[in-house]
Amino acid sequence: MATRQAAAKELLEALDKRPPEIKEALQAAVERGVLPPRASVWRRHRLVAATAAALDAAEHLGQDALHCPFVLVDEVTQLTEPAVLCCFHLAKAQRALLVGDPRQLPPRAQHEPLQRSLLERLWEDGPASARVELSTQYRCHPEIAQLGSSLFYGGWLRSGVSAEEPSSGLGPGAPPLAVVLSEGSEVRAGQSYRHDDEAKLVAAWLRRALSCGKLGEADFGVVCLYRPQAEACARALASLGINSVTCATVDAFQGGEKEAIAVSCGRSTFSKGGDSFSGCPRRLNVALSRARRHLTVFGCEAFLAGHPIFSHVLAAAKEKGAAHPAQAVLGR
């Protein structure tokens, strides 16, 4: 009993920073004795789904609480190697399947050796017979997928979605890939950046997109390179009464997707070699691959044109006649 009480206490402490409604629901489950699961519950199920962090609860339930001979770890490139090995140990795994994309964001760790995932190490050093490379994507419109394939995968990533399959959600003639050229200047926000005019531009675009009526707020996402920019976009949307659109950093959006994505760069200038953060290919791969039907990139032309990756996005949009000035959105 004491071990379950310890697990319950640890679970509730971990929820302190979660939204109140989530914490209240889980606290009620703890009070009813549903959470954390009893050891007998773990043992009688053949399939157990859990986050790597939640799996730690098994430690409180005794050595025999969990026994999963086969373990599948999804999005494994976001986990440090010790975290994955802990999962194997707690589950008493005999076999494992690691699934992830080493061309997307690595684990968050202060020490460089921990920023290399177990999948990357085994891919480079393990036997070739244990590696399978998936070459077809089923999320993005082919035009969006082709851009990502050429920028990040050497052109070998194919699309399993036909161009006709995803119907337009932004009205007739809306392109899958577009660029909106913002005006104004960035400002420093601590060690980060924010571009308030661009945030207002994103909000104006979203209001217009929602007026088409084909997609709801939950179908849109705003992906930002910097946290202050995500907060600025959320404020700009709230000022227009739009409160259910997810505004988040690239790191927070990894693993997620939306029907339509707005990428807000939040910068007006680009200095070669001066900003490894906004120029990180793995971060931008995530940013440009969250949209299923429509991807719209917002940025100042000077920043986009000078950027080693966004310059190709700008060129692709211009080639399709889909690069628009801010006035086209603001109606000035």
Check which CATH number belongs to the domain holding 60 and give it: 3.40.50.300
Residue 76 and residue 20 share a domain? no
Q: Are residues 3 and 67 in the same domain?
A: no
Q: Which of 130, 145, 176 is the last residue of a domain?
A: 130
More confidently predicted of 322 and 17: 322
Average of pLDDT values for 116-140?
92
Task: For residue 13, give both structure tokens.
Answer: 């402490």
Residues 236, 320, single domain; the answer is yes
- How far, in Å, are 164, 274, 299, 312 from residue 149 at the CA level? 19, 26, 22, 12
| Segment 296-328, tens digit of pLDDT | 999 999 999 999 999 999 999 999 999 999 999
Amino acid at 292: R
Q: For helices 2-14 and 20-31, give the axis angle rounded to 10 degrees.
A: 170
Q: What is the DSSP letter of 37?
A: P
Identity of the amino acid at 14:
A
Question: Following DSSP, what letter does each residue of 265-287 receive, concatenated?
Answer: ---S---TTT-TTTT-HHHHHHH
Three-class secondary structure of residue 262 per DSSP: strand
Q: Please indicate, yes or no, whether residues 146 and 289 belong to a single structural domain of this protein.
A: yes
Could you tell me if 152 and 290 lie in one domain?
yes
Please check whether residues 170 and 255 belong to one and the same domain.
yes
Q: Which of the listed residues 130, 151, 166 is the one where a domain comes to its end?
A: 130
Pairing assessment for the beta strands 187-189 and 192-194 based on DSSP bridges: antiparallel
The domain boundary residue, chosen from 104, 130, 156:
130
* Claim to verify: residue 20 and residue 47 sit in the same structural domain: no
pLDDT tens-digit series, residues 101-124: 999 998 887 777 788 999 999 999
Length of the chain equals 332
Task: Using pLDDT thresholds of 50, 70 and 90, give the confidence band for residue 90.
Answer: confident
Given the DSSP bridges, would you call strands 220-224 and 258-264 parallel, antiparallel or unpaired? parallel
Residue 123 phi/psi, 5-degree rounding, is -65, -40
Whole-prediction pTM value? 0.82
Q: Do 283 and 316 meet the contact criterion of CB atoms below 8 Å apart?
A: no
- 109 and 10 within one domain: no
Q: What is the mean pLDDT of residues 184-197?
A: 94
Overall domain count for the chain: 3
Burial bucket for residue 118 (CB in 10 Å: 0-12, 13-18, 19+): buried
pLDDT at 14 over 70: no
Same domain? For 25 and 52 the reply is no
Asked if residue 120 and residue 152 are part of one domain, the reply reads no
Q: Both 309 and 169 in a single domain? A: yes
Residue 180: pLDDT band with limits 50, 70, 90: very high
Opening angle at CA 104, ends 102 and 106, nearest 5: 75
Q: Which domain holds residue 19?
A: 1-35
Mark whether 260 and 325 lie in a shared domain. Answer: yes
